[in-house]
Amino acid sequence: MGTTRIVRGARIFATCGAAALVLTACGSNSGSGGGDITLTVADFGGFGYDKLIKDYEKSHPGIKVKEKVAQFDPHHQQLSTQLAAGAGAADVVAIEEGYLPKFRQSKDKFVNLADHGADKLKDRWLPWKWEQGVTDNGKYVLGYGTDIGSLAMCYNTELFKKAGLPTDRDKVSALWTTWDDYLGVGHKFVRKVKGAGWYDTDQNLFTAIMNQTQYGFFDQDDKFIGDTNPKVKEAFLQAGKDAKKLSAKLLAFSPQWSAGIKKGAMATIPCPSWMNGLIETAAGKENSGKWDIAKLPGDGGNWGGSFLTVPKQGKHPKEAAELAAWLTAPEQEKRLFAEVGALPSQPALLKDPAILGKTRPFFNNAPVGKIYGDSATALQPNYRGSRDGDIRPGFSNALIRVEQGKQSPEASFNQAIKEAKKALKLG
């Protein structure tokens, strides 16, 4: 992610060696001596594959696996360069859902996983997750789904107490059926608690609301509808209209955002499952038990989630496809949820007692398995156009201008629309 792109990739800022943003050296290795095959896996942090890779090597003699981790946006941008050049890409490459429509346009540069038994694995995944990773009416399987980012609301129980609000997660969930309810509670909060915002940033609020819409900036024919789809403007104005009063005005995922979590600068954060770890790390052990998780206003929603793909330029497509299938198998997804909190994208696991019974001590022992599992089974995924990633940051920047008092929500939205059309060359 860039500084204003708000997606799953923000959770870790790791690099691929000394040249942090140069990923060309992360390409496929043809193998080491002794007949071994070396496969590279390129992702953008937080996947939790290090332990799994060691186990894979033990159970697959002759296969060596190297994981290459990069920052979110550079990872995807460099993949585009590597595909165009026909060289340099890893054997297995993670692609986040927001970027997937773009790479779907270049499917001929990826191995069709249907040629490696993907059709036999289809029933592993939630139907909508599977559909995100295929094209040509399902005949071309571009990627295997990893996690999903079903949504909930993380909240600071100590700040709720100061405001005289309930802290029990069921009672908190009952405070808001709609986003207007949520904002109304926020006004009550800021009248009673000084020095803290109701939410962290209007960027995250906008993202959460947008991720509850079936269509956002583009329709199913990949046509830009940001200027005609009323849901876009409604979400923007909801997020921006009270920003001066309710927002903690912290740039999403910045060091200031993390510091704000630690010192209690905001009462609530719309949080996908993968963000739990970010909040816990930022807050520190001394704040364990002071946060909890409630339902999100509105109907479900998904924020993030990725796919493992196999570029054609690799020298070992069969072995790479097998590795991608293994890393996304139910056994591994179940383990990753327990180890790093990556919510499985497979319906059988979302009903598994081990998943449903998972709690998170830091969040007052919140039953994260049930909370996020219920959200995942109820949500309708948000459609992303092939150029969604090109124009979405402009709306985040527009909301920053609103928070800073530089523009009214209406004026800033209109500017974002003009900039989006310019970027898309729509006149």
Task: Check: CB of residue 192 under 8 Å from CB of residue 239.
Answer: no
As a whole number of angstroms, the longest Cα–Cα distance in the chain is 70
Task: Check: CB of residue 305 under 8 Å from CB of residue 126.
Answer: no
Q: Give the pLDDT score at 299.
A: 76
Q: Pick the closest to residue 72 from 8, 163, 121 (CA basis).
A: 8
Q: Give the pLDDT score at 8.
A: 43
Q: Give the pLDDT score at 210.
A: 94
Count the neighbouring beta carbons within 10 Å of the beta carbon of residue 264: 19
Q: Give the pLDDT score at 386.
A: 87
Q: Is residue 3 classed exposed, middle or buried when 0-12, 13-18 and 19+ CB atoms within 10 A define those classes?
A: middle
Token representation of residue 180: 């207007």
Task: Check: CB of residue 141 under 8 Å from CB of residue 118.
Answer: yes
Per-residue pLDDT of the chain (427 residues; tens, 9 = 90+): 333 333 444 433 333 333 332 333 333 444 434 459 999 999 997 799 999 999 999 999 999 999 999 988 899 999 999 999 999 999 999 999 989 999 999 999 999 999 999 989 999 999 989 999 999 988 999 999 999 998 999 999 999 999 999 999 999 999 999 999 999 999 999 999 999 999 999 999 999 999 999 899 999 899 999 999 999 999 999 999 999 999 999 998 999 999 999 999 999 999 998 899 899 999 999 999 999 999 999 877 889 899 999 999 999 999 999 999 999 999 999 999 988 889 999 999 999 999 999 999 999 999 999 999 888 877 777 888 889 888 988 999 999 999 999 999 999 999 999 999 999 999 6
Instruction: Output the pTM of the full model.
Output: 0.84
Q: Give the pLDDT score at 35.
A: 58
Find where tokens 């319906």 sit.
347
Count the neighbouring beta carbons within 10 Å of the beta carbon of residue 267: 27
Task: Please calculate the CA angle 150-224-138 and round it to the nearest 5 degrees.
Answer: 60
d(CA 38, CA 320): 10
Q: Give the pLDDT score at 9.
A: 42
- What domains can be seen in the chain, in order of their start residue? 8-118+304-343 (3.40.190.10), 151-302+384-423 (3.40.190.10)
Q: Give the pLDDT score at 313.
A: 97
Question: Residue 92's beta-bridge partner residues?
Answer: 41
Q: Give the pLDDT score at 427.
A: 67
